[in-house]
Chains A and B, each alone.
Chain A
Protein backbone atom coordinates (compact mmCIF):
# COMPACT_ATOMS: atom_id res chain seq x y z
CA UNK A 1 0.00 0.00 0.00
CA UNK A 2 2.96 2.21 -0.50
CA UNK A 3 3.36 5.20 -2.74
CA UNK A 4 4.91 3.15 -5.46
CA UNK A 5 2.00 0.76 -5.82
CA UNK A 6 1.81 0.11 -9.54
CA UNK A 7 -1.46 -0.04 -11.46
CA UNK A 8 -0.85 -3.71 -11.89
CA UNK A 9 -0.12 -4.79 -8.38
CA UNK A 10 1.83 -7.94 -7.78
CA UNK A 11 1.94 -10.03 -4.69
CA UNK A 12 -0.73 -10.55 -2.09
CA UNK A 13 -3.18 -8.33 -0.31
CA UNK A 14 -3.43 -7.94 3.41
CA UNK A 15 -7.07 -7.52 4.28
CA UNK A 16 -6.38 -6.51 7.85
CA UNK A 17 -3.88 -3.80 7.01
CA UNK A 18 -4.98 -0.36 8.14
CA UNK A 19 -3.92 2.78 6.34
CA UNK A 20 -4.19 5.58 8.93
CA UNK A 21 -4.46 8.25 6.24
CA UNK A 22 -7.42 6.46 4.66
CA UNK A 23 -9.00 6.00 8.09
CA UNK A 24 -8.78 9.71 8.76
CA UNK A 25 -10.06 10.57 5.29
CA UNK A 26 -13.02 8.27 5.88
CA UNK A 27 -13.85 9.96 9.18
CA UNK A 28 -13.49 13.43 7.67
CA UNK A 29 -15.56 12.57 4.60
CA UNK A 30 -18.27 10.80 6.54
CA UNK A 31 -18.62 13.51 9.16
CA UNK A 32 -18.67 16.24 6.51
CA UNK A 33 -21.43 14.46 4.61
CA UNK A 34 -23.29 13.94 7.88
CA UNK A 35 -23.12 17.61 8.81
CA UNK A 36 -23.97 18.90 5.33
CA UNK A 37 -26.84 16.50 4.82
CA UNK A 38 -28.12 17.11 8.33
CA UNK A 39 -28.71 20.77 7.56
CA UNK A 40 -29.66 20.47 3.90
CA UNK A 41 -31.62 17.25 3.71
CA UNK A 42 -32.31 15.08 6.75
CA UNK A 43 -33.65 17.84 8.94
CA UNK A 44 -36.06 19.10 6.28
CA UNK A 45 -37.15 15.65 5.11
CA UNK A 46 -37.79 14.42 8.63
CA UNK A 47 -39.60 17.60 9.57
CA UNK A 48 -41.77 17.45 6.45
CA UNK A 49 -42.62 13.79 6.97
CA UNK A 50 -43.36 14.45 10.64
CA UNK A 51 -45.63 17.34 9.80
CA UNK A 52 -47.44 15.32 7.23
CA UNK A 53 -47.82 12.37 9.60
CA UNK A 54 -49.17 14.71 12.25
CA UNK A 55 -51.59 16.18 9.77
CA UNK A 56 -52.75 12.79 8.56
CA UNK A 57 -53.19 11.70 12.16
CA UNK A 58 -55.14 14.86 12.94
CA UNK A 59 -57.24 14.34 9.81
CA UNK A 60 -58.03 10.79 10.80
CA UNK A 61 -58.89 11.92 14.32
CA UNK A 62 -61.05 14.70 12.95
CA UNK A 63 -62.70 12.31 10.52
CA UNK A 64 -63.55 10.00 13.36
CA UNK A 65 -64.95 12.89 15.35
CA UNK A 66 -67.02 14.14 12.45
CA UNK A 67 -68.33 10.66 11.86
CA UNK A 68 -69.29 10.23 15.46
CA UNK A 69 -71.00 13.58 15.38
CA UNK A 70 -72.83 12.67 12.20
CA UNK A 71 -73.90 9.36 13.68
CA UNK A 72 -75.14 11.11 16.80
CA UNK A 73 -77.03 13.58 14.62
CA UNK A 74 -78.51 10.76 12.61
CA UNK A 75 -79.63 9.03 15.78
CA UNK A 76 -81.10 12.25 17.05
CA UNK A 77 -82.96 12.85 13.80
CA UNK A 78 -84.22 9.32 13.72
CA UNK A 79 -85.48 9.73 17.25
CA UNK A 80 -87.09 13.03 16.35
CA UNK A 81 -88.64 11.48 13.29
CA UNK A 82 -90.04 8.65 15.37
CA UNK A 83 -91.40 11.08 17.92
CA UNK A 84 -92.92 13.13 15.12
CA UNK A 85 -94.47 10.02 13.62
CA UNK A 86 -95.92 9.05 16.96
CA UNK A 87 -97.18 12.54 17.46
CA UNK A 88 -98.74 12.54 14.04
CA UNK A 89 -100.43 9.24 14.77
CA UNK A 90 -101.59 10.62 18.06
CA UNK A 91 -102.87 13.76 16.40
CA UNK A 92 -104.66 11.72 13.77
CA UNK A 93 -106.21 9.49 16.39
CA UNK A 94 -107.23 12.49 18.38
CA UNK A 95 -108.71 14.18 15.33
CA UNK A 96 -110.54 11.04 14.39
CA UNK A 97 -111.92 10.82 17.89
CA UNK A 98 -112.80 14.50 17.80
CA UNK A 99 -114.44 14.11 14.41
CA UNK A 100 -116.43 11.14 15.59
CA UNK A 101 -117.45 13.04 18.69
CA UNK A 102 -118.34 16.03 16.57
CA UNK A 103 -120.35 13.90 14.22
CA UNK A 104 -122.13 12.20 17.08
CA UNK A 105 -122.85 15.56 18.63
CA UNK A 106 -124.16 16.98 15.36
CA UNK A 107 -126.32 13.92 14.86
CA UNK A 108 -127.52 14.11 18.41
CA UNK A 109 -128.27 17.79 18.09
CA UNK A 110 -130.05 17.23 14.82
CA UNK A 111 -132.05 14.45 16.35
CA UNK A 112 -132.91 16.61 19.34
CA UNK A 113 -133.83 19.51 17.12
CA UNK A 114 -135.94 17.29 14.95
CA UNK A 115 -137.63 15.90 17.98
CA UNK A 116 -138.16 19.37 19.31
CA UNK A 117 -139.65 20.49 16.04
CA UNK A 118 -141.91 17.50 15.79
CA UNK A 119 -143.03 18.03 19.36
CA UNK A 120 -143.71 21.66 18.69
CA UNK A 121 -145.65 20.77 15.59
CA UNK A 122 -147.58 18.18 17.51
CA UNK A 123 -148.30 20.75 20.17
CA UNK A 124 -149.39 23.24 17.53
CA UNK A 125 -151.62 20.65 15.94
CA UNK A 126 -153.07 19.84 19.32
CA UNK A 127 -153.57 23.47 19.99
CA UNK A 128 -155.22 23.98 16.59
CA UNK A 129 -157.42 20.98 17.23
CA UNK A 130 -158.46 22.32 20.60
CA UNK A 131 -159.07 25.71 19.06
CA UNK A 132 -161.05 24.24 16.21
CA UNK A 133 -163.14 22.14 18.57
CA UNK A 134 -163.64 25.20 20.67
CA UNK A 135 -164.71 27.16 17.68
CA UNK A 136 -166.88 24.31 16.53
CA UNK A 137 -168.50 24.21 19.95
CA UNK A 138 -169.11 27.94 19.81
CA UNK A 139 -170.52 27.64 16.36
CA UNK A 140 -172.73 24.74 17.34
CA UNK A 141 -174.03 26.66 20.33
CA UNK A 142 -174.64 29.74 18.17
CA UNK A 143 -176.41 27.64 15.60
CA UNK A 144 -178.46 26.00 18.26
CA UNK A 145 -179.30 29.39 19.69
CA UNK A 146 -180.22 30.68 16.27
CA UNK A 147 -182.32 27.63 15.62
CA UNK A 148 -183.99 27.99 18.94
CA UNK A 149 -184.47 31.70 18.31
CA UNK A 150 -185.96 31.04 14.89
CA UNK A 151 -188.14 28.37 16.29
CA UNK A 152 -189.36 30.55 19.00
CA UNK A 153 -189.84 33.51 16.60
CA UNK A 154 -192.30 31.46 14.40
CA UNK A 155 -195.27 29.78 15.73
CA UNK A 156 -194.27 26.46 16.18
CA UNK A 157 -196.68 23.88 15.16
CA UNK A 158 -196.43 20.28 14.91
CA UNK A 159 -196.39 20.47 11.16
CA UNK A 160 -194.02 23.22 10.49
CA UNK A 161 -191.49 22.89 13.26
CA UNK A 162 -189.94 20.04 11.41
CA UNK A 163 -189.76 22.13 8.22
CA UNK A 164 -188.42 25.07 10.12
CA UNK A 165 -185.65 23.05 11.71
CA UNK A 166 -184.71 21.57 8.36
CA UNK A 167 -184.63 24.98 6.73
CA UNK A 168 -182.53 26.48 9.49
CA UNK A 169 -180.15 23.58 9.34
CA UNK A 170 -179.90 24.15 5.64
CA UNK A 171 -179.08 27.81 6.29
CA UNK A 172 -176.44 26.90 8.76
CA UNK A 173 -174.98 24.40 6.41
CA UNK A 174 -174.68 27.01 3.75
Chain B
Protein backbone atom coordinates (compact mmCIF):
# COMPACT_ATOMS: atom_id res chain seq x y z
CA UNK B 1 0.00 0.00 0.00
CA UNK B 2 3.02 2.23 0.16
CA UNK B 3 3.68 2.18 -3.51
CA UNK B 4 0.33 3.41 -4.64
CA UNK B 5 1.79 6.06 -6.86
CA UNK B 6 4.02 3.73 -8.77
CA UNK B 7 1.02 1.81 -9.83
CA UNK B 8 -0.98 4.78 -10.70
CA UNK B 9 1.25 5.35 -13.65
CA UNK B 10 0.95 2.26 -15.72
CA UNK B 11 2.60 3.93 -18.67
CA UNK B 12 6.35 3.53 -19.03
CA UNK B 13 6.56 6.98 -20.56
CA UNK B 14 5.53 8.39 -17.21
CA UNK B 15 8.74 7.14 -15.67
CA UNK B 16 10.71 9.92 -17.21
CA UNK B 17 9.43 12.15 -14.47
CA UNK B 18 11.02 11.76 -11.04
CA UNK B 19 7.62 12.09 -9.45
CA UNK B 20 6.43 8.86 -10.94
CA UNK B 21 8.34 6.70 -8.52
CA UNK B 22 7.10 8.56 -5.54
CA UNK B 23 6.12 6.40 -2.70
CA UNK B 24 4.39 8.88 -0.51
CA UNK B 25 1.88 11.59 -0.84
CA UNK B 26 4.25 14.54 -1.00
CA UNK B 27 4.42 14.27 -4.78
CA UNK B 28 0.73 13.79 -5.18
CA UNK B 29 0.09 16.78 -7.38
CA UNK B 30 2.42 15.92 -10.29
CA UNK B 31 1.29 12.34 -10.12
CA UNK B 32 -2.30 13.37 -10.30
CA UNK B 33 -1.50 15.44 -13.34
CA UNK B 34 -0.02 12.40 -14.97
CA UNK B 35 -3.07 10.38 -14.22
CA UNK B 36 -5.23 13.05 -15.68
CA UNK B 37 -3.01 13.15 -18.70
CA UNK B 38 -3.20 9.42 -19.20
CA UNK B 39 -6.89 9.30 -18.56
CA UNK B 40 -7.30 6.46 -21.00
CA UNK B 41 -5.31 4.20 -18.63
CA UNK B 42 -7.50 4.82 -15.62
CA UNK B 43 -6.43 3.93 -12.10
CA UNK B 44 -7.82 0.58 -11.04
CA UNK B 45 -8.36 -0.32 -7.40
CA UNK B 46 -8.58 -3.96 -8.45
CA UNK B 47 -5.13 -3.99 -9.96
CA UNK B 48 -3.83 -2.15 -6.90
CA UNK B 49 -5.21 -4.83 -4.60
CA UNK B 50 -4.07 -7.62 -6.86
CA UNK B 51 -0.58 -6.25 -6.98
CA UNK B 52 -0.28 -5.85 -3.24
CA UNK B 53 -1.83 -9.08 -2.17
CA UNK B 54 -0.26 -11.27 -4.85
CA UNK B 55 2.98 -13.06 -4.44
CA UNK B 56 5.54 -12.78 -7.22
CA UNK B 57 8.66 -14.70 -8.05
CA UNK B 58 11.81 -12.69 -7.44
CA UNK B 59 14.43 -15.35 -8.14
CA UNK B 60 13.30 -18.37 -10.10
CA UNK B 61 14.66 -21.60 -8.65
CA UNK B 62 14.11 -25.18 -9.72
CA UNK B 63 15.22 -27.98 -7.44
CA UNK B 64 15.01 -31.42 -9.03
CA UNK B 65 12.40 -30.11 -11.40
CA UNK B 66 10.34 -28.75 -8.54
CA UNK B 67 9.45 -25.08 -8.47
CA UNK B 68 11.15 -23.69 -5.37
CA UNK B 69 11.34 -20.11 -6.61
CA UNK B 70 12.11 -17.40 -4.08
CA UNK B 71 9.04 -15.23 -4.00
CA UNK B 72 8.19 -12.01 -2.20
CA UNK B 73 6.67 -13.92 0.68
CA UNK B 74 9.72 -16.14 1.01
CA UNK B 75 11.96 -13.08 1.27
CA UNK B 76 9.66 -11.49 3.85
CA UNK B 77 9.71 -14.73 5.84
CA UNK B 78 13.47 -14.60 5.84
CA UNK B 79 13.38 -11.03 7.07
CA UNK B 80 11.01 -12.17 9.82
CA UNK B 81 13.41 -14.99 10.68
CA UNK B 82 16.36 -12.64 10.70
CA UNK B 83 14.52 -10.23 13.00
CA UNK B 84 13.59 -13.05 15.34
CA UNK B 85 17.18 -14.20 15.59
CA UNK B 86 18.39 -10.61 15.96
CA UNK B 87 15.97 -9.97 18.78
CA UNK B 88 15.79 -13.18 20.76
CA UNK B 89 19.40 -14.34 20.76
CA UNK B 90 20.70 -11.09 22.34
CA UNK B 91 17.62 -11.01 24.59
CA UNK B 92 18.50 -14.47 25.89
CA UNK B 93 22.01 -13.26 26.69
CA UNK B 94 20.71 -10.18 28.48
CA UNK B 95 18.25 -12.20 30.49
CA UNK B 96 20.78 -14.82 31.50
CA UNK B 97 23.41 -12.25 32.41
CA UNK B 98 21.11 -10.25 34.62
CA UNK B 99 18.63 -12.85 35.64
CA UNK B 100 18.39 -11.77 39.27
CA UNK B 101 18.33 -8.04 38.75
CA UNK B 102 15.57 -5.77 37.58
CA UNK B 103 15.11 -6.43 33.83
CA UNK B 104 15.79 -3.62 31.38
CA UNK B 105 13.17 -2.41 28.95
CA UNK B 106 14.22 -4.70 26.13
CA UNK B 107 14.76 -7.89 28.07
CA UNK B 108 11.76 -7.04 30.23
CA UNK B 109 9.54 -6.82 27.16
CA UNK B 110 10.90 -10.09 25.78
CA UNK B 111 10.44 -11.75 29.15
CA UNK B 112 6.90 -10.49 29.33
CA UNK B 113 6.05 -11.88 25.88
CA UNK B 114 7.76 -15.19 26.64
CA UNK B 115 5.90 -15.34 29.94
CA UNK B 116 2.67 -14.57 28.12
CA UNK B 117 3.07 -17.52 25.74
CA UNK B 118 4.41 -19.78 28.47
CA UNK B 119 1.85 -19.06 31.17
CA UNK B 120 -1.04 -17.58 29.25
CA UNK B 121 -1.04 -20.18 26.49
CA UNK B 122 1.01 -23.31 27.24
CA UNK B 123 0.40 -23.63 30.98
CA UNK B 124 -3.25 -22.58 30.81
CA UNK B 125 -4.15 -25.14 28.17
CA UNK B 126 -1.85 -28.05 28.96
CA UNK B 127 -0.68 -27.49 32.52
CA UNK B 128 2.60 -29.17 33.29
CA UNK B 129 2.56 -31.09 30.00
CA UNK B 130 2.75 -27.78 28.17
CA UNK B 131 6.39 -27.21 29.05
CA UNK B 132 7.74 -29.24 26.15
CA UNK B 133 5.71 -27.23 23.65
CA UNK B 134 6.78 -23.80 24.84
CA UNK B 135 9.68 -23.34 22.36
CA UNK B 136 7.46 -24.40 19.48
CA UNK B 137 4.60 -22.15 20.59
CA UNK B 138 6.98 -19.24 21.13
CA UNK B 139 8.48 -19.61 17.65
CA UNK B 140 5.04 -19.96 16.10
CA UNK B 141 3.69 -16.93 17.95
CA UNK B 142 6.53 -14.62 17.02
CA UNK B 143 6.81 -15.95 13.48
CA UNK B 144 3.16 -15.15 12.83
CA UNK B 145 3.23 -11.89 14.80
CA UNK B 146 6.28 -10.56 12.98
CA UNK B 147 4.93 -11.64 9.60
CA UNK B 148 1.65 -9.91 10.34
CA UNK B 149 3.35 -6.74 11.53
CA UNK B 150 5.84 -6.58 8.68
CA UNK B 151 2.89 -6.67 6.30
CA UNK B 152 1.85 -3.35 7.81
CA UNK B 153 5.34 -1.95 7.57
CA UNK B 154 6.35 0.04 4.49
CA UNK B 155 8.38 -2.03 1.99
CA UNK B 156 11.84 -0.77 2.83
CA UNK B 157 13.15 -1.86 -0.56
CA UNK B 158 10.71 0.40 -2.33
CA UNK B 159 11.67 3.35 -0.14
CA UNK B 160 15.36 2.75 -0.74
CA UNK B 161 14.78 2.44 -4.45
CA UNK B 162 12.77 5.65 -4.46
CA UNK B 163 15.60 7.52 -2.76
CA UNK B 164 18.09 5.96 -5.18
CA UNK B 165 16.05 7.09 -8.16
CA UNK B 166 15.65 10.58 -6.74
CA UNK B 167 19.39 10.90 -6.26
CA UNK B 168 20.08 9.48 -9.69
CA UNK B 169 21.80 6.40 -8.36
CA UNK B 170 19.30 4.00 -9.89
CA UNK B 171 17.19 3.92 -12.97
CA UNK B 172 13.44 4.05 -12.56
CA UNK B 173 11.85 0.66 -12.85
CA UNK B 174 9.47 -0.45 -15.51
CA UNK B 175 6.18 -1.18 -13.81
CA UNK B 176 5.27 -3.70 -16.49
CA UNK B 177 8.47 -5.68 -16.26
CA UNK B 178 8.37 -9.06 -14.49
CA UNK B 179 9.12 -8.94 -10.78
CA UNK B 180 12.24 -11.01 -11.41
CA UNK B 181 13.70 -7.94 -13.10
CA UNK B 182 12.80 -5.55 -10.31
CA UNK B 183 15.63 -3.54 -8.73
CA UNK B 184 17.62 -5.41 -6.07
CA UNK B 185 16.43 -3.13 -3.25
CA UNK B 186 12.85 -4.05 -4.05
CA UNK B 187 13.70 -7.70 -4.11
CA UNK B 188 15.50 -7.55 -0.76
CA UNK B 189 12.55 -6.05 1.09
CA UNK B 190 9.53 -6.48 -1.15
CA UNK B 191 7.02 -5.76 1.61
CA UNK B 192 4.21 -8.25 1.63
CA UNK B 193 2.34 -10.07 4.37
CA UNK B 194 3.74 -13.58 4.42
CA UNK B 195 0.76 -14.79 6.39
CA UNK B 196 -1.58 -13.49 3.71
CA UNK B 197 -1.11 -16.66 1.66
CA UNK B 198 -2.69 -20.05 2.16
CA UNK B 199 0.64 -21.73 1.34
CA UNK B 200 2.25 -20.06 4.36
CA UNK B 201 -0.62 -20.35 6.82
CA UNK B 202 -1.27 -23.86 5.49
CA UNK B 203 2.32 -24.89 6.14
CA UNK B 204 2.13 -23.51 9.69
CA UNK B 205 -1.21 -25.20 10.28
CA UNK B 206 0.25 -28.40 8.82
CA UNK B 207 3.05 -28.29 11.36
CA UNK B 208 0.44 -27.69 14.08
CA UNK B 209 -1.44 -30.72 12.79
CA UNK B 210 1.73 -32.75 12.96
CA UNK B 211 2.32 -31.63 16.55
CA UNK B 212 -1.28 -32.53 17.42
CA UNK B 213 -0.89 -36.03 16.02
CA UNK B 214 2.54 -36.58 17.53
CA UNK B 215 1.44 -35.54 21.01
CA UNK B 216 -1.79 -37.52 20.65
CA UNK B 217 0.16 -40.70 19.95
CA UNK B 218 2.82 -39.84 22.51
CA UNK B 219 0.27 -39.44 25.30
CA UNK B 220 -2.36 -42.02 24.38
CA UNK B 221 -0.49 -44.41 22.13
CA UNK B 222 -2.32 -45.90 19.20
CA UNK B 223 -5.54 -45.49 21.20
CA UNK B 224 -5.48 -41.81 20.29
CA UNK B 225 -7.09 -42.57 16.96
CA UNK B 226 -9.89 -44.47 18.71
CA UNK B 227 -10.22 -41.96 21.53
CA UNK B 228 -11.02 -38.95 19.40
CA UNK B 229 -14.67 -39.81 19.96
CA UNK B 230 -15.75 -38.64 23.44
CA UNK B 231 -16.32 -41.25 26.14
CA UNK B 232 -19.68 -42.92 26.70
CA UNK B 233 -20.93 -42.87 23.11
CA UNK B 234 -23.03 -45.92 22.14
CA UNK B 235 -21.48 -48.14 19.45
CA UNK B 236 -23.83 -47.21 16.56
CA UNK B 237 -23.25 -43.53 17.23
CA UNK B 238 -19.55 -44.13 17.61
CA UNK B 239 -19.41 -45.48 14.07
CA UNK B 240 -21.11 -42.36 12.84
CA UNK B 241 -19.06 -40.00 14.94
CA UNK B 242 -15.60 -41.34 14.43
CA UNK B 243 -15.24 -40.18 10.81
CA UNK B 244 -16.62 -36.79 11.78
CA UNK B 245 -14.18 -36.43 14.64
CA UNK B 246 -11.33 -37.64 12.50
CA UNK B 247 -12.09 -35.18 9.74
CA UNK B 248 -12.59 -32.60 12.48
CA UNK B 249 -8.92 -32.67 13.35
CA UNK B 250 -8.05 -31.66 9.81
CA UNK B 251 -10.89 -29.17 9.65
CA UNK B 252 -9.58 -27.45 12.75
CA UNK B 253 -6.13 -27.15 11.22
CA UNK B 254 -7.61 -25.92 7.95
CA UNK B 255 -9.65 -23.37 9.88
CA UNK B 256 -6.46 -22.19 11.55
CA UNK B 257 -4.87 -21.59 8.17
CA UNK B 258 -7.89 -19.89 6.63
CA UNK B 259 -8.63 -17.72 9.67
CA UNK B 260 -5.17 -16.22 9.65
CA UNK B 261 -5.11 -15.82 5.89
CA UNK B 262 -8.55 -14.20 5.77
CA UNK B 263 -7.82 -11.80 8.62
CA UNK B 264 -4.56 -10.69 7.12
CA UNK B 265 -5.99 -10.31 3.63
CA UNK B 266 -9.22 -8.60 4.62
CA UNK B 267 -7.53 -5.86 6.64
CA UNK B 268 -5.03 -5.13 3.92
CA UNK B 269 -7.74 -5.13 1.29
CA UNK B 270 -9.73 -2.62 3.31
CA UNK B 271 -6.68 -0.40 3.70
CA UNK B 272 -5.92 -0.61 -0.01
CA UNK B 273 -9.47 0.18 -0.98
CA UNK B 274 -9.59 3.16 1.38
CA UNK B 275 -6.33 4.50 0.00
CA UNK B 276 -7.35 3.60 -3.52
CA UNK B 277 -10.33 5.93 -3.18
CA UNK B 278 -7.93 8.85 -3.01
CA UNK B 279 -6.57 8.03 -6.46
CA UNK B 280 -9.89 6.99 -7.83
CA UNK B 281 -11.72 10.18 -6.91
CA UNK B 282 -8.87 12.68 -6.58
CA UNK B 283 -10.91 14.86 -4.33
CA UNK B 284 -9.77 16.53 -1.12
CA UNK B 285 -12.90 15.52 0.76
CA UNK B 286 -12.54 11.88 -0.16
CA UNK B 287 -8.81 12.03 0.47
CA UNK B 288 -9.34 13.36 4.00
CA UNK B 289 -11.99 10.78 4.78
CA UNK B 290 -9.82 8.02 3.32
CA UNK B 291 -6.83 9.19 5.28
CA UNK B 292 -8.69 9.27 8.59
CA UNK B 293 -10.36 5.96 7.85
CA UNK B 294 -7.16 4.21 6.86
CA UNK B 295 -5.32 5.47 9.95
CA UNK B 296 -8.11 4.00 12.05
CA UNK B 297 -8.07 0.72 10.16
CA UNK B 298 -4.28 0.62 10.43
CA UNK B 299 -4.53 0.84 14.23
CA UNK B 300 -7.12 -1.91 14.15
CA UNK B 301 -4.80 -3.97 11.94
CA UNK B 302 -2.02 -3.66 14.51
CA UNK B 303 -4.38 -5.17 17.05
CA UNK B 304 -5.51 -7.84 14.59
CA UNK B 305 -1.88 -8.74 13.84
CA UNK B 306 -1.33 -9.47 17.51
CA UNK B 307 -4.72 -11.06 18.04
CA UNK B 308 -4.42 -13.46 15.11
CA UNK B 309 -0.97 -14.61 16.19
CA UNK B 310 -2.40 -15.20 19.66
CA UNK B 311 -5.46 -17.04 18.37
CA UNK B 312 -3.43 -19.28 16.07
CA UNK B 313 -1.09 -20.28 18.87
CA UNK B 314 -3.80 -20.56 21.52
CA UNK B 315 -5.94 -22.81 19.32
CA UNK B 316 -2.93 -24.94 18.41
CA UNK B 317 -2.19 -25.34 22.12
CA UNK B 318 -5.84 -26.18 22.82
CA UNK B 319 -5.93 -28.81 20.07
CA UNK B 320 -2.68 -30.32 21.32
CA UNK B 321 -4.08 -30.37 24.86
CA UNK B 322 -7.20 -32.05 23.52
CA UNK B 323 -5.12 -34.73 21.84
CA UNK B 324 -3.17 -35.47 25.03
CA UNK B 325 -6.07 -36.78 27.06
CA UNK B 326 -9.30 -38.47 26.24
CA UNK B 327 -12.28 -36.26 26.88
Contact = CB atoms under 8 A, between A and B. Distances in A.
Interface string A16-47: 11111111111101111110111011111110
Interface stretch (B80-88, B245-253, B303-311): B80-88
Given A7-B173, A46-B114, A46-B118, A22 B60 contact: no
Contacts of B110: 45
Contacts of B37: none
Interface stretch (A49-57, A135-143, A161-169): A49-57
Contact of B51 (A8, A17, A18, A41): A8
A30 B56 contact: no
A22 to B, nearest CB: 4
Nearest to B258: A16
Nearest to B180: A3
B233 interface: no
Contact of B85 (A17, A36, A43, A52): A36
Contact of B139 (A1, A12, A27, A37): A37
Main secondary structure of the interface of B (DSSP, over half): helix
B143 A22 contact: no
B92 A44 contact: yes
Contacts of B200: 22-23, 26
B171 interface: no
B124 interface: no
A10 interface: yes
Chain A interface size band reads 35 or more
B207 A30 contact: yes
Given A26-B204, A30-B143, A46-B114, A3 B198 contact: no
Given A9-B51, A20-B67, A45-B114, A15 B178 contact: no
B96 A44 contact: yes
Interface stretch (B69-77, B219-227, B236-244, B281-289): B69-77
B151 interface: no
A114 interface: no
A29 B80 CA distance: 10
A19 B71 contact: yes
Contacts of A40: 85, 88-89, 92
Contact of B91 (A15, A24, A31, A41): A41
Contacts of B61: 21
Nearest to B67: A21
A174 interface: no
Max chain B CB contacts within 10 Å: which of A9, A15, A36, A55?
Answer: A9
A15 B74 CA distance: 17
Given A10-B50, A17-B198, A48-B95, A30 B179 contact: no
B179 A7 contact: yes
A40 B93 CA distance: 9
A16 B91 contact: no
Contact of B68 (A17, A24, A38, A42): A24
Contacts of A41: 88-89, 91-92
Nearest to B56: A5
B7 interface: yes
A43 B182 CA distance: 41
Contacts of B96: 44-45, 48
Interface in B45-79: 46-47, 49-51, 53-57, 60-61, 66-71, 73-74, 77-78
A4 interface: yes
Given A20-B67, A41-B88, A46-B118, A33 B143 contact: yes
Interface stretch (B25-33, B130-138, B292-300, B316-324): B130-138
Contact of A12 (B46, B111, B194, B261): B46
B267 interface: no
B177 interface: yes
A155 interface: no
B71 A22 contact: yes
29 contacts: A1-B54, A2-B57, A3-B69, A5-B54, A5-B179, A6-B177, A7-B175, A9-B47, A10-B47, A12-B46, A13-B54, A15-B198, A15-B265, A18-B199, A19-B199, A23-B202, A24-B68, A25-B70, A26-B194, A30-B203, A33-B139, A37-B138, A38-B135, A41-B88, A42-B134, A44-B96, A45-B111, A48-B92, A55-B100
In the complex, the 10 A-B pairs of residues with the closest C-beta atoms, listed nearest first = A26-B203, A22-B199, A41-B88, A42-B135, A41-B92, A5-B56, A23-B199, A34-B139, A44-B92, A48-B99
